[in-house]
Amino acid sequence: MTRRSTLTRTGHVLAIAGILFSGATAAVAAEPSTAAPAAVAAPDISVEDVQAHLQELQSIADTHGNRAHGEPGFKASIDYLQGQLDAAGFTTTVQEFDFFGQTGYNLVAEWPAGEASEVLMLGAHLDGVPNGPGINDNGSGSAALLEVALTVAEQDLQPSKKLRFAWWGAEELGLVGSTHYVDSLSDEEKAAITGYLNFDMVGSPNAGYFVYSPDGQPDGSAELQQPLNDYFDGLGVATEEVEIGGRSDHAAFADAGIPTAGTFTGAEETKTAEQAEKWGGTAGDAFDPCYHRSCDDLDNVNTEALDRNADAIAYAVWTHVGG
Ligand SMILES: [Zn+2]
């Protein structure tokens, strides 16, 4: 998650609306339940496996100082994910770009099965800020997405569309990697992408359960968003709609007219008393008190929020393209 106002390489100011929480509760399940919705046979993603990826990212940050754009810890993060995805049978590509005189990298992994004419994309930014390991922001989204991708492979999913996962570079410097990727696509390639799901901060320690607002988001899509909301409904976890605006990578896709959706557990904003009542945690504290700080480490993750979001991502994949 980048800061509120973001200046891109071209000097274009992206949406500065920042984050506007809607007062309304988007979805409250009638009957609380611990079971996932039964209609779709989506797998339960192992949170221990997601945490194991986070441990790898932490140890990369420990070795290299951070995982920021232009630093060896970022390339090491790319290499770790690519190794995992290659071993699982994905077709991976590392796209290079230049920013501030440093080479940046996007990792794109496509599952070989599936009809090629339509593509469902899911993405998370893999870079951190220079002054911390970047575990919640955004090791959490990156690791959850990685484990969902590995589960696609493990289950040998035969999707109805092409499934393409992406991990972006230089998000923290203004959505640079994702913007570069979208700019590199032909009109035909853009048109083939039926939707883009974004996961940026999904394990905030004082977690909120936010879902992207289809109305407030540039090119937000209620249809694309629905399974994510349904998953939390099925758990009996109330969600609130949020407008991320230009603060994360879905903006590059939205600018190209591609429908977007996603989930988010909160950054530097303060949890209200009402939110603490429905979600637990501490009213008056930030959702992530370590946002962009050195303390954004392995201890800065709410395991339950991480688990639920990883399962929600899988539920969305299986609902949209699943077998
Ligand atoms: Zn951030």
pLDDT tens for residues 183-210?
999 999 999 999 999 999 999 999 999 9
DSSP labels for 110-168?
A: E-S-S-TTSEEEEEEE--B-TTS--IIIIIIHHHHHHHHHHHHHHTT---SSEEEEEEE
Confidence band, pLDDT 50/70/90 cuts, at residue 245: confident
pLDDT tens for residues 85-138?
999 999 999 999 999 999 999 999 999 999 889 999 999 999 999 999 999 999
Would you say 306 and 50 are in contact if contact means Cβ atoms under 8 Å apart?
A: yes
Task: Output the average pLDDT for the chain.
Answer: 90
Please give all residues whose CB falls under 5 A of ion ligand 1, grouped by chain where several chains appear: 1, 137
Would you say 30 and 276 are in contact if contact means Cβ atoms under 8 Å apart?
A: no
CA of 238 to the centre of ligand 1 (A): 25
Whether the per-residue pLDDT at 11 is higher than 70: the answer is: no
Would you say 191 and 257 are in contact if contact means Cβ atoms under 8 Å apart?
A: no
Question: How far, rounded to the nearest angstrom, does the alpha carbon of residue 196 sit from its chain's CA centroid?
Answer: 10
- DSSP-derived 3-state class of residue 95: strand
Q: Which residue is listed with tokens 């929480």?
A: 21
CA of 137 to the centre of ligand 1 (A): 5
If one compares 17 and 231, the residue with the highest pLDDT of the two is: 231
Confidence band, pLDDT 50/70/90 cuts, at residue 23: very low
Rounded CA separation 30/201 (Å): 27
Q: Which of 62, 124, 76 is nearest to 294 (CA)?
A: 62
pLDDT exceeding 70 applies to what percent of the chain? 88
CA of 268 to the centre of ligand 1 (A): 10
What is the token pair recorded at 65? Answer: 């100082």
Whether the per-residue pLDDT at 223 is higher than 50: the answer is: yes
Burial classification of residue 102, based on how many CB atoms lie within 10 Å of its CB (0-12 exposed, 13-18 middle, 19 or more buried): middle
What is the token pair recorded at 267? Answer: 């950054």
CA of 288 to the centre of ligand 1 (A): 11
Whether the per-residue pLDDT at 148 is higher than 50: the answer is: yes
Look up 171 and say whether it is catalytic. yes
What is the token pair recorded at 33? Answer: 């339940």
| Every domain of the chain and the residues it spans | 5-321
Q: Are strands 162-168 and 102-110 parallel, antiparallel or unpaired?
A: antiparallel
- DSSP-derived 3-state class of residue 199: strand
Of 34-43, 103-112, 214-223, the poorest mean pLDDT is in 34-43
Q: CATH topology for 5-321?
A: Aminopeptidase (3.40.630)
- Catalytic residue, chosen from 56, 71, 147, 171, is 171
CA of 322 to the centre of ligand 1 (A): 31
Would you say 79 and 153 are in contact if contact means Cβ atoms under 8 Å apart?
A: no
pLDDT value of position 215: 81
CA of 290 to the centre of ligand 1 (A): 11
